[in-house]
Amino acid sequence: MNTYLFLGTIITIGIIVLVNNISIFADQAIWRNYDNMKDLVNGIKNGEKDDNNINWEKFSQYF
C-alpha cells in the first residue's frame, strides 16, 4: 500500500514539474530577446520584431 502511495506521489510531482516547464519554455520563446512588454513594443515600433509573425493566440494564453 505504501508503495502505491509513494509511486503516485512521485508521478504527480513529475507531472506538475513537466507542465510548469512546458509553460516556461513557451513563455521564453514568445519573449525571446525582450526583457518586458515595453521592450517588445519598442522592438515592434523600431522594426526589429515583425508583429505579423507573433502567434497572438499563444501569446494571450499567458496574459
Residues 29-50 pLDDT 10s: 666 777 777 888 898 899 888 8
What DSSP assignment string belongs to 14-61? HHHHHHHHHHHHHHHHHTTT-SSHHHHHHHHHTTSS-GGGS-HHHHHT
Compute the average pLDDT of residues 16-30: 64
Residue 20 sits in which domain range? 2-60
Does 11 have pLDDT greater than 90? yes
As a whole number of angstroms, the distance between CA 6 and CA 50 comes to 49
What pTM, to 2 d.p., does this model score? 0.42
pLDDT score recorded for residue 15: 87
The count of domains in the chain is 1
pLDDT score recorded for residue 10: 93
